Amino acid sequence: MGGYTYAWTEDDVIIVVRLGDDDWAALSAVCTHQGCFVGYRAKAGDLFCGCHASVFELDGRVTAGPAEAPLRVYTVAREGDLLVVSGTSGDRGRGGANGSAGRVAGAARRG
């Protein structure tokens, strides 16, 4: 486990991490510091930004700066062979409750 992939929506890039057979996490992949993409570190179980070394938990919280704001968290639901990623009410106003939705075909492949 621990593979991940990215999905592009109209207003965000989402990292989708496979945590278990049917257990997924999806967050904005856009670092809240200066906008680089974060990657999943399976060994640490966190998200790391290689530009300036910010670290985020899978619930979006910042555990190491310079980033200060959390990553936006999405919900993931499986529909057959597709993962459907939807925005949450805890977002930062980019797209509203369900404004950012995307479909991720197949399973996460990286990691």
3-class DSSP state for residue 64?
Answer: strand
Task: Tell me: does residue 63 bind ligand FES (CB under 6 A).
Answer: no
Choices 27-35, 71-79, 85-93, 102-110 (CB under 6 A): range interacting with ligand FES:
27-35
Tokens representing 97?
A: 């409750």
Task: Tell me: does residue 49 bind ligand FES (CB under 6 A).
Answer: yes
Judge contact between 90 and 97, C-beta under 8 A: no
The residue from 1, 52, 69, 107 that contacts ligand FES (CB under 6 A) is 52
The residue from 13, 51, 84, 101 that contacts ligand FES (CB under 6 A) is 51
Alpha carbons 88 and 40: distance in angstroms, whole number:
21
Chain residues that interact with ligand FES, rule: CB under 6 A: 31, 33-36, 49, 51-52, 54, 66-67
